[in-house]
Structure 1
Amino acid sequence: MLTLPNILTLSRILAVPLLVGFLWWPAWPAGYAVAFALYCLMGITDYFDGYLARSKGTVSKLGIFLDPIADKIMIASVVLMLVATRDIAGWSLIAGIIILLREIAISGLREFLAQLQVSVPVSKLAKWKTTLQLVSLGGLILAGALPAFPWIQTLSIAALWGAAVLTLITGWDYLRVGLKHMD
């Protein structure tokens, strides 16, 4: 069912190759600026697809399926590109790995629990984790667009580590719930 919310979700998935393309050349601040604008637009569509689906009563199985996938594709692509361009480097690679591993592990756990008809609601802390993660990655993209302001990179790396810590905490919370349903 191609409702407006589902079209917005699909647009995020289709925009990922463009986002990756603009991040491809780390010495091209204009590309990072366009990537930042696109990243922000993708974040806005993420908000509005859910808001519109709930407010209009058009929540669909396709949307429930695609929305988390779109989020994970976007996050994973940005983390991988920022590692490839060395915007995330050194010890901060660990923060990126933590974020990617949690995304994969929790997706698998949710799929397993869904087969058992066990729902795991998103906690407020997990929403803060997601917000900090999105802000940190957006900040790292913005830092590439504005290399004359190195403090943006510094703050964004600090936010990335904050997101990684929240990722560990919320990942453990989900795992603890999931372990109750495993033999």
Structure 2
Amino acid sequence: MTLANQLTLLRLVLIPLFVVVFYLPFGWAHFASAMIFSVAAITDWLDGYVARKYDQSTPFGAFLDPVADKLMVVIALVLLVTLHHDSIWVVGAAIIIVGREIVISALREWMAKLGQGASVAVSYIGKVKTTLQMTALIVLLANIPMLLIIGYIALFGAAGLTLWSMVIYLKAAWPYLLPDEENSES
């Protein structure tokens, strides 16, 4: 078991922990939950760094890392919707982000079956989106009133980049989504 894989497994273990802490009946619960989520977000970056730097990439890690990332983000968004349910903007951003994750995950899987997985590889925009998204989730989970505007701005920025990156991925995949006209005429 490589260090990179151990970090990914740690992230999975931290998910139920930040959910349980989030619902504790104490004033510090949301802040503590956000700090646990922060540690999980750092392990997301760190496992990729360790895997690349020390050549610890494994098939297990390649499968589990994106699963852990998606679970972490989706569960955090569900918590945010329960916390900020009166904000149509938070609910809308959550729908956009989760919807995009489903579409792009399916697109990547389908493109990989066609041998075109590199056509929908992670882009620089995706990295910026992830940074904004993690910042937003941490700030909004902490639920500190004077910082909420920063969280909202980061969340809306992440939602915007989410849509933009989805369009880029779909454009790259578009030639493979359309039937080959030469074959359809035969």
Q: Is TM > 0.5 for Structure 1 vs Structure 2?
A: yes
Number of matched pairs: 176
The code of the aligned residue for 1:12 comes to R
1:97 corresponds to: 95
Q: Which runs of 5+ in 1 are unaligned?
A: none
Mark the structure with the bigger radius of gyration: 2
Of 105, 108, 119, the residue aligned with 2:106 is: 108
Deviation by residue 1:24-82 (Cα, 9 ceiling, x = unmatched): 25x63311122122111111111111111111111111111111111100000000011
Q: Which moved more, 1:83-92 or 1:64-73?
A: 83-92
State the Cα distance separating 1:88 from its structure 2 match.
7.0
Instruction: Give the secondary-structure state (helix, strand or coil) at the position aligned to 2:28.
Output: helix
Instruction: Give the secondary-structure state (helix, strand or coil) at the position aligned to 1:122.
Output: coil
Compared CA separation, residues 23 and 175, structure 1 to 2 (3 A): same
Structure 1 runs, 4 residues or longer, greater than 4 Å off: none
For the aligned residue pairs, the C-alpha RMSD in angstroms reads 1.5
CA contact (8 A) 1:140 1:156 kept: yes
1:59 corresponds to: 57
In structure 2, distance between residues paired with 1:134 and 1:105: 20
Instruction: Please state if 1:86 is matched with 2:84.
Output: yes
In structure 2, distance between residues paired with 1:59 and 1:181: 28
Normalised to the residue count of structure 2, the TM-score between the two structures is 0.89
* Mapping of residues 10-159 of structure 1, within 5 Å: 10-25=9-24, 28-86=26-84, 89-118=87-116, 119=118, 120-142=120-142, 144=143, 146=144, 150-159=145-154
% identity of equivalent residues: 38
CA contact (8 A) 1:5 1:52 kept: yes
CA contact (8 A) 1:98 1:167 kept: yes
1:6 corresponds to: 5
CA contact (8 A) 2:8 2:44 kept: yes
